[in-house]
Amino acid sequence: MHDRASLLAPGLVTLDAHLEAEFEALLVETSRLAFRVAFSVLRHQQDAEDVAQESFAKAYRHFGSLRDRDRFRAWLVRTVWRTALDRQRANRRRGAHELVVEQGFLASFSSPGQSSPQAVDDRTALWNAIDALPEKLRVAIVLASIEGHGVSEAAALLRIPEGTVKSRLFLARQRLKEALK
Amino acid sequence: MTDQELDRALAGAFAVEPQADFLARVRSEIGRQPAPSVWPAWRPLAAAGAALAVAVAAVVTYRTEPGQPSAPLRVASRVEAPVVPVPPIAVGREAPAPARAQARAVRAVPLALPAPQISPDDAEALRYTLAGASDGLFAPIAARDDSAPLAVSGIDLAPIEVMPLAQMAQADSGEHQ
């Protein structure tokens, strides 16, 4: 990436390198967020990474209008979410992936003490309950649960009022608790 | 399930990490992408539109003189004949100066018909007639009353004498002898 900047004319190197540096900083900051959003939809490691990678490539092409940090994060979350849903629908049509949670895969991400069969069952039940939520409630609970995002940050990512996020989170948690009784 | 238990379950569910080489693969993929443009996609279009608006405003300003409204479009509704100035006819007064006459001719409303052609003799006769009329040389003509019956007087004619044809023949032969 930086090699391309070094090949440009000297007058253009500064601006190009500056853009590259800005994007690199945002990439490092948001890579985990993008992957987790994709994983919350797909529940598949490789697919989630592919979707996140595809979204970052798209963000790089449109980086001229995404240089603002908040704008970049909100755009990235929406793009990853839509791309992941498209991938999920394509997987369903091909039948390439089961929609059930890959138990062995989930166990590998569990902390010690949570890899027991009971913990895996609990995790499977939780994902199934999340999948059963309407999309608006699902994306709200996902964003609020990732990286400890608060209501205000989830509202900024979704570009909706905080009151709307609060009500959606309340409904989502109520349904999850009922499903996990 | 309590709120705390749900929070722990959600935090554990999303505590997933990408593989170690994930960022390297993303950077490699981005390296194959075209360089990003500094300008957002809509800005070149906006700049082109602004330049076009400025050009149109400049043309309109150049064609319209300041302080004068733009002249309305004129559409010829008829073919106008060329204006031929007619020399003025002096009627008991001094003829106007040539410059004034010329200016009056220029201001004259163009006619659809060509100007009348008058010979110099007719113009002279008309000038004298009008001058005499203005001086009172001609008595006013009484209006004729067409409703009154015409008075017809008798005509005296001598009686016509008709001779018989035989006498006319003898008379002719006597003349031959």
pLDDT, tens only, B48-85: 888 899 999 888 888 775 555 555 555 555 555 555 56
A to B CB pairs, distance under 8 Å: 109
User: Which chain A residues contact residue B31 at CB under 8 A?
Assistant: 1, 3-4
**Residue B162 Rama label (left phi>0; alpha psi -120 to 50; beta):** beta
Q: Do B18 and A61 touch (CB under 8 A)?
A: no
Question: pLDDT of B101-153, one tens digit each?
Answer: 666 665 655 556 667 778 888 888 988 888 888 887 776 565 566 677 777 77
| pTM, entire model | 0.55
Return the number of other C-beta atoms located less than 10 Å from residue A83's C-beta. Answer: 21
Q: Which residue has the higher pLDDT, A64 or B43?
A: A64
Q: Which of B29-43, B113-127, B154-168 has the lowest mean pLDDT?
A: B29-43
Q: Does B26 touch chain A (CB under 8 A)?
A: yes
pLDDT at residue A166 in the model: 94
Tell me the nearest-neighbour CA distance from B49 into chain A, angstroms: 19
Q: Does B141 touch chain A (CB under 8 A)?
A: no
> How far is residue A68's CA from residue A66's CA, in Å, rounded to a whole number?
5
Q: Is the dihedral of CA A179, A46, A57, B10 positive or negative?
A: positive
> How far is residue B101's CA from residue B112's CA, in Å, rounded to a whole number?
21
ipTM: 0.75
User: Which chain B residues contact residue A31 at CB under 8 A?
Assistant: 18, 22-23, 26
Q: Do A52 and B26 touch (CB under 8 A)?
A: yes
Q: Do A176 and B27 touch (CB under 8 A)?
A: no
Tell me the nearest-neighbour CA distance from B25 into chain A, angstroms: 8
* B14, B16, B33: residue with CB nearest A60: B33
Q: Does B41 touch chain A (CB under 8 A)?
A: yes
Q: What is the mean pLDDT of residues B32-42?
A: 66
Q: Where do the domains of chain A lie, and which CATH numbers do they carry?
A: 1-99 (1.10.1740)
What confidence category does residue A86 fall into, taking pLDDT thresholds of 50, 70 and 90?
very high
Question: pLDDT of B3-15, one tens digit each?
Answer: 888 888 888 888 8
Task: Reduce the secondary structure of chain A to three states and give it as a string.
Answer: CHHHHHHCCHHHHHHHHHHHHHHHHHHHHHHHHHHHHHHHHHCCHHHHHHHHHHHHHHHHHCHHHCCCHHHHHHHHHHHHHHHHHHHHHHHHHHCCCCCCCCHHHHHHHCCCCCCCHHHHHHHHHHHHHHHCCCHHHHHHHHHHHHHHCCHHHHHHHHCCCHHHHHHHHHHHHHHHHHHCC
Q: What is the mean pLDDT of residues A154-174?
A: 92
pLDDT at residue A146 in the model: 85
* B11, B22, B33: residue with CB nearest A57: B33
Tell me the nearest-neighbour CA distance from B19 into chain A, angstroms: 8
Q: Do B19 and A45 touch (CB under 8 A)?
A: yes
> How far is residue A79's CA from residue A51's CA, in Å, rounded to a whole number?
9
Q: What is the mean pLDDT of residues B15-40?
A: 83
Ranked by mean pLDDT, the top range of A1-15, A130-144, B97-111 is A130-144
User: Which chain B residues contact residue A126 at CB under 8 A?
Assistant: 9-10, 13
Question: What average pLDDT is seen over chain B?
Answer: 73
Q: Does B156 touch chain A (CB under 8 A)?
A: no
First to last CA, chain A: 51
pLDDT at residue A91 greater than cutoff 50: yes
